[in-house]
Each structure stands twice: as C-alpha cells, then as structure tokens.
Structure 1
C-alpha cells in the first residue's frame, strides 16, 4: 500500500545528527503552496535543543518567498521605504503628508524598531512602544504608519495577521472645550492688535499686518494659512456683495523637507475652492491692505513682497494680546468662534457651509461650542403628560 501523502502544513519524521560540534534536526515539510521541502535547524547545545528549534519554526512556518520586494528577512526600515513610496504613488497623499510620515518614522520608529525583521514585531512589543510615547499626535501617527506597513506585509504573505491592530496609544487627555470668543473679548483682541501695530519706536514693526489678519479671520472663518494664501486676484471688492475665494493654502517653513515657505495651489484635502461673502469688517481690512498693495501678489505680503509666515503672525498675536487672553486665543480660535456665532443665529448647516466642511459632523464635533442649556420644551412635555394649568 503506497504511503499517504502529507497534507499542507504537515511534516515527516524528524531526524537528528551531529557534525563538527553542532547538532542538527531535519525533516520534510509540505508548505501551503503544496511543495515538499527539506527544513533544518541547528544548535550548539544539544540535539534536543535543535529539535525544539525546528518544531518552533514548523509551528509558524510560511512558504519561502522569492522574487518580491518584501520577504521574511525584510526589516521594518526596508518595509517603511516600500510602504511610503506606495502611499504616495497609489493613494495620492500630498507631499507634505509624506514628509510628516517620514519625520515621525525617523524620530520614533527608525532607531527604535527599524532593525527588527517583520516577523519579530508582535502586538506586545508594538503596543508597549506606542504607549511609551504618551497621548500624543505622534503616537497616533506612528501607529497608523505601522498599521499600514504591516498590512503591506500581510498582502505579500510574509505574515498572516496584522500585529498592530490590537495596539492602542495612551489614553488622551480630555480635549479642550470649544468656546466662542465673547463680543467683549473680541473687542479687546481687536483693540490690542491695533495698539500693537501702531506702537511708536525705532525699527520695523512686525505686527503691521496683524489687525487686518485678525479681521479677515473673523470675516471669513477660514483657516489661518488659507487667509495668508490669499492673492489680490482672489478678492473681488467691486462685487455686490464683495467676496474672497479661497483657492490655496500656505505651507510653512520645514513642513516639507528642503522646501521654504510657499503657497500650495490647492486647499486642504484637495477640497474645491470656496467663496465667502465679506461682511463690512472684511471689506475694510482689504481696503486698508490695498492702499500699499502692488500687482497680483499676496494680500499679506512681507517687506520683500513675498508670503507672510503663520509662525510670524502667531508670534505677533501672542505678543499683542493681554496676559489673560494669550492662553485661549490663537489664530485658529477665530475659525471656531465664527462657526459657533453662525450656528447660534442661523443653524449648524450654515456654519458648515461657512467653514466649507464636507461633513456636518466635523463642524459639530470640532468647531462648535456645545449647548449647555436645553431648549424651552415645556409645552411639549405638558401635552405629553396631560398636565395643564
């Protein structure tokens, strides 16, 4: 009677031998691709140790991988390079996003995990590393990078389960509560930045554009770098009503390695251009800036006529604000304030339209001050309960 053929995943009898002071354990294994292969492991200690090493290998064995870029001998650093190129080419992520991923990997992954081979990374090791980074944005980004890298390894058949799926970053601290800027505080802010811009003294005044910047943030609800990316061709003060159209955003120094401050001719997430009707405060700000504008350059031009960095604007704003407002007012605070004011008067959908969010949930979750008082529903509940005066 012929010998029964091994099924995929089964192995034959393990044989042991010694040679030159080393011990060897050998068997034949039928891999999941159906091929029968000779498998061997060795030990300097004993034949039994060689047998145990072989048995451990057989338990997690995968068929050998040939002629592909990712193998069971690939390190995480090698895997990262393959993954990031595919991320840019196939998923179409922006250049600055790719650079952010590279910076996160270089700082938190390359030296700590990069030399490990793919199969040497388990959930426990990865979870411990991500947790040690604390409740930071960097930890979340590293986990996302590792998740994508290991998904690539799964697709190449190097591993069967993504070990990063069950990892979690450290628990985040509670998010700051979104609060609108009360009208009286907004008046203080505007007065403070005007006083800072008009101050007397020798030398250049770094805050000369600050009042118009704050007013346009309030007038549009746009992101700070979208306001700073405005060109005069984006502004139509002769329209009825006057408008600005947001078509791009500024990318600050260092956001993309090797690139200086520059304008990106598309909005965040490749969102379509967004036209905003200007209230009087926005029209007056642009009319003031127009008095010393030249050509179709930046609305907020530096002294050389180039783009004005958000870092400089943020620094000037902080210097201009009273001590009690510095901790609560940043350039991005005005976007949330505008959203809340519009919601309170016109509803959440109008706030979403003003901010140009694709989803109402984004506006409600991140940009609106939460209602802390219920509506007047007394008549409805009296009718429901049948209680009358």
Structure 2
C-alpha cells in the first residue's frame, strides 16, 4: 500500500539524534502551504527537549518566504519603511506624524526585532510604557504597529495580528462644551479690545482675530478650513450669500521641511462644502473685502498678504481672553455651532452644517449633551395610579 501523502501543514515522523555533548537535534519533513516538502529541525539539551522545541516550532510555522519582500527575517525597522512606502494614498502630514511616532517610541526599542519576535505580551508592555508618558503617543504608535503587522499577515509571516489584542491607551474624552450667548458676547468684546488696544511700537496684535471668530461661529467650519478660504470661495452678493470650503491649511512643521501652505483637499478627502452665511459672517467678510483685489488671494492674511497661520491666531486668542474664558480655543466654535443648530433645528441639520459623513460623529464629538428630561408627568402619574 503506498504511503499516504502529507496534507499541506502536516509533518511526518520526528527523529532525534545526538549531535554533540549535551546537544540533541530533532528533525522531520513538513509539507508547507505551497505544497513543497521541506526539512525542519530544532535542537535541545536532551532528546525530549529537542522534540518539544521542534513541536512548538511546527505549531507556528509558516511557509518560508525567502524571496518575498516581507519574510520571517524582516526586522521591524525594515517593516516600518515597507509599510509606510505602501501607503501611497496617505497624506504627507500623516506620513510625517507616523514617522515621528516610530522614531520617538518604536525604532530604538523595537526596530532590531524580527517580526515574530514581538508577541502580544511584549507589545502590550511597550505600549503601556509609552502610554505612561503620553496617551496620545501610545495611540499613534499602536496605529502604526497595527498597520505594520497587518502587512506581515498579508505576507503570511504571522497568522494573526498580535497588536490587535493589545489594550488601547486609556484616554479621557473631553466633555463637549458650547459657548453660551453671554460667553460668546464676552469673547467678541475681548478680542476687539485686544485688537484695538493702543501700542507705541510694532504691528497691531490680533489684526483679523475678531473677523476670524465671527466667521468661525457663523459656519462651524474647522479653523484651518476658514484660513484656507480664497475670495473666489466667497459669494457675498448671492441670495443667500455663501462660502465654499475646498481645502485646508497645513501649518509649519506638519510636513518635514515644508512651510505653511494651502492643501487643495479637505480632511479625509471630503468633498467641497458650501455653507449659507448669516449676517455676522457677511459683515465680517465685507470688512475684510476692502483690501482684496485678486480672487485667488487669501481671505485671512498675514501682514505680507500671504496665508495666515492658525498658531498665530490661537496665540492671539489666548492672550485676548480673560481667565474665566481661557478654555475657549478656535476649535470651541465648531461644537458651539453644532449645538445651536441641533437645538433650533435638528441633529441631522447639525450634521449637515458640519459636513460629517455620519451622524454618530456629530453626536459623539460635537454636540453638548442635553441633561433635561422630557415632560413625562402624565405617563408616570398613570403608572403610579396602577394604570
């Protein structure tokens, strides 16, 4: 009767030979997933030790991929470069962010390890150590490692992604807070007083800060989207007047070696977003329009007429506000607009105003939570009466 052929993944009889003083080698033939029959062996200090080592190896063995770009000899430093190079659709600022995360928290501690030398337990300990210093850094590094090991899985170097089972860095989600009408009035008053203060020398601080705040609170757009506006994006004579966001600003240092510049796509490659402008925004933009000549010129400009950096406006806003309003940043106006639109129209209208693809995003991150229950007196009275 002919010998039955091994199925892919099966191995034959294990034999153990003494190969030296106190050294034994166990070996067998394995039929790998590609159908090829290969010899596998492991050593130990005794025959039983060698046999156990070989059995452990056979349980996790994958088909050797010596000709593959990624194989079991690839180090994590090499894997990172291969993974990042494969992300051709990733924006350059995201690539820079991932490279910095790997350089700061991954390369020195993990880079020399081979792919199979980072099990879940070791990755868990490393991510926990990073999280103890910075939860946000641990979160970014975990994203990088998940992507790297997903690539290793696709090349059959490991069967499962060991990073997916690691704990996510604990992060306290900040409470959504919208400015009340009284607080907003106070903010407007403070930024105007800051701009109009007398100075003996130098340029006036916060030159366009009041108009920036008025447009933010009138639209709910992201601060860097507002700063990317060109006059060709604004139509103040339309009925109703509109503004179309089609890009975003990329600040100094977000991409290594590049200065502040306009990116001609929105966050997440979202489509252009048009909003109808209320009176406050129309008045603010009309004030700025007096110095505009070129339709492709920026709406908000630095002293030289070029693009304005959000860092400069954020610094001016912080300096302008009194202590009790120091929690307000340029990002505070987006949840404020969402909450106002939700309260006067609906959650779906708030989603549309902010241009979110999913209502859940608006509700989770941008709507101030309501804490007033409905008028349920009739129902509860009937229940108490046994009805």
TM-score normalised over the length of structure 2: 0.91
Residue in structure 2 matched with residue 324 of structure 1 by the alignment = 324
Deviations 1:104-159 (A, max 9, x none): 11211111211110010101011111122226222222212211211211121111
Give the 5 Å matches for 1:96-135. 96-134=93-131
How far did 1:94 drift?
A: 2.0
1:31-46 alignment runs, 5 A limit: 31-33=31-33, 34-41=35-42
Asked if the contact 1:14–1:26 (Cα under 8 Å) also holds between the matched residues in 2, the reply is: yes
2:29 alignment partner, SS class = strand
Distance 1:291 1:4 in 2: 88
Cα distance in structure 1, aligned partners of 2:240 and 2:2 = 91
Structure 1 position 49, deviation (Å): 6.0
| Deviation larger for 292-301 or 31-40 | 31-40
| 1:224 corresponding residue in structure 2 | 223
What SS does the aligned partner of 2:330 have?
Answer: coil
Give, in angstroms, the shift of residue 386 of structure 1.
6.9
Q: Note the residue ranges of structure 2 that are not aligned, 5 or more in a row.
A: none
How far the C-alpha of 1:24 sits from its partner, in A, is 5.4
CA–CA distance in structure 2, aligned partners of residues 56 and 111 of structure 1 = 29
Q: Shift in Å at residue 332 of structure 1?
A: 0.5
Aligned match of 1:143: 142
Alpha carbons 2:16, 2:50 under 8 Å: kept: no
Higher mean alpha-carbon deviation, 290-299 vs 221-230, is at: 290-299
Change (3 A) 1:355 1:207: same
- Cα distance in 2 for residues equivalent to 1:22 and 1:214: 78
Counterpart in the other structure of 1:304? 304
In the TM superposition, what is the alpha-carbon distance from 1:208 to its structure 2 partner? 0.5
In structure 1, the residue matched to 2:184 is: 186
Change (3 A) 1:209 1:28: same
Contact 1:24 1:40 in 2 (8 A): no
Q: From the superposition, tell whether residues 23 and 359 of structure 1 become closer, same or farther in structure 2 (CA, over 3 Å).
A: same
> Residues 274-321 of structure 1: CA distance to partner in whole angstroms, max 9, x if unpaired?
111111111111111112233221001111111000011100000000
Give unmatched runs, 5+ long, in structure 1: none
Q: Quote the Cα distance in structure 2 between the aligned partners of 1:350 and 1:163.
A: 41
Distance between the aligned counterparts of 2:5 and 2:275, measured in 1?
Answer: 74
TM-score normalized with structure 1 length: 0.90
Report the more deviating stretch, 315-324 or 374-383.
374-383
RMSD of equivalent CA atoms: 2.4
Please say if residues 178 and 367 of structure 1, whose CA atoms lie closer than 8 Å, have aligned partners that are also in contact.
yes
Change (3 A) 1:384 1:42: closer
Q: 1:15 to 1:311 in 2, by over 3 A?
A: same
- Report the number of matched residues: 381
Aligned to 2:83: 83
